[in-house]
Every structure is written in structure tokens, then in C-alpha cells.
A = this chain, B = another copy of it.
């Protein structure tokens, strides 16, 4: 893990990059990183995020600034700006079931080519996907999903980069921290090594490439 400033971290992300951003309706999202993405005007982003949050909050800021060109998400109904941009064909949107979304990212992070899920069989979601039978039951083949960057928000980070998450702010963060080439983390608190007990670490240090330093 390398400690960096938020400016340095975001400077590594080129316009047009694919980014996974943790959070669920803006809860558990690395706000400081997104503010800086907006400030540095990274355009044409491929965003992989559970939802579009709401205007002004979480990934909603990226839609306010019209920085997103492609979106993979599960629900964008609470962000009218994202809806508008989708209906105006300014962004290409792939809406997928939430359990499928997280399993595809987990597969990407865990070296699996994909998973077989019953979710979506016989619905619009099945269009263009392979249907695979196992013991007489039908499943959709859902393939792995990865990104160039994962922007992750933790509760505690220690000096090595071990991470814990708080309450419902955990959500997609630990899974995304495994599924990108470069993992950039903000933490509410940075604490000395040993403060986090081994059994409480959720994301082990070697997964973290850059931690945004205090101050």
C-alpha cells in the first residue's frame, strides 16, 4: 500500500477509464475521491456502481457533472438526472439484478469466469445470455466483471492497508476491492498496525494499492 494525496490518486485515473465505486445509495461511497474526480473533470467514465445515488450525493455527483458515458448498475430510479441522461441516450445503461451484479464482480475478483444464477431466467435479463442446465434446472451464465480502478471507502484502515467497514457502509466495497487493477481507498480513520484484530479485517492489506493519507 502507498499513501497518496487525493489529488495524486485521482490524477492516475484517465478520462474514459472504467471505475467501480463502492456504496449503496451514497452510503459507504468515497466522497472525497468523487469530489476530486469532478474537480479534475475526468470525462467519459464507465461506471460500475450499485445505483446512481441521488443528485449531489455519492456517485450522483458524477451524473451532475455529466462525466459518465456508460453505467452498469442495478437501480437508478432515485436519481432523476441519471434517468434523464439515460432516456436522452447520453449514457449507455446496463441494468442488472443486484445479486447478479455483486456475483459478477466477486467472480472478477476471485478469478472465476462467471457464475450460474437462477435469477432472471425467462425474463428480459436473459436476452443474449447463455442458458445452462444443471440437474434439470436452468441457470443464466453471468460472466465476470472487472474495472481498471476500484474506489473504495473503509471505516478503519491501518498503516499496512488492512480495512474494516462500518454497518451498512460495507455493501459492495470489499468485493470491489478485489476486482480492479488499481484499488484506491479512503478511510474514516487511519490507525496503527495491530489496532484491527486479525479476525476483524475484512479487506487484507495486500489488496490495497493506494490509501488516501490524512491531512
Contact = CB atoms under 8 A, between A and B. Distances in A.
A132 interface: yes
Contacts of A114: 115-116, 134, 139
Contact of A139 (B113, B134, B165): B113
Contacts of A165: 199
A107 B99 CA distance: 13
Contact of A116 (B115, B118, B137, B167): B115
B112 A115 contact: yes
Interface residues of A, number: 27
A198 interface: yes
A166 B198 CA distance: 9
B113 A134 contact: yes
B117 A113 contact: yes
Contacts of A199: 164-167, 170, 200
A15 interface: no
Contacts of A200: 199-200
A143 B141 CA distance: 12
Contact of A113 (B137, B166, B198): B137
B117 A132 contact: no
A180 interface: no
11 contacts: A112-B117, A112-B139, A113-B117, A113-B134, A114-B139, A115-B115, A132-B141, A134-B141, A164-B199, A167-B199, A199-B200
